[in-house]
Amino acid sequence: MEFAKLRVEIIGQKEQLEKLAYFLRLVEYLGNVGASRVLKLWIDGDGAARLKVIFPDFIEKVEVNELVLEKDSLLRVDID
């Protein structure tokens, strides 16, 4: 298996960034211990967060498939 690096810059309020960092550390921890879990990430749609996500190594914009974002749907991305 070949590893790669993804550089991401996220701009937002400190508390939101700390929660996102904690979530990502959970992902890392589960991979290290070999445990499978479902992790939920709640994004409040009131517009207060306004996180800015920058992918410095991508020339083209990374698109989001809006069809999977329907109300009450479960957004699932499998990474093997």
- What single DSSP character describes residue 53? E
Domain ranges within the chain, ordered by starting residue = 9-69
What pLDDT, on the 0 to 100 scale, is given for residue 66? 65
What pLDDT, on the 0 to 100 scale, is given for residue 43? 75
Which one is predicted more confidently, 4 or 45? 4
39-64 pLDDT, tens per residue? 888 777 777 778 898 988 887 776 77
Threshold 0.85, pTM exceeds: no
Among candidate residues 42, 56, 51, the one with its CA nearest the CA of residue 14: 51
Measured CA to CA, the distance from residue 41 to residue 76 in angstroms comes to 11
8-30 pLDDT, tens per residue? 999 998 988 999 999 999 999 99
Which residues have C-beta within 8 Å of that of residue 30, sequence separation ≥ 6?
A: 36, 37, 39
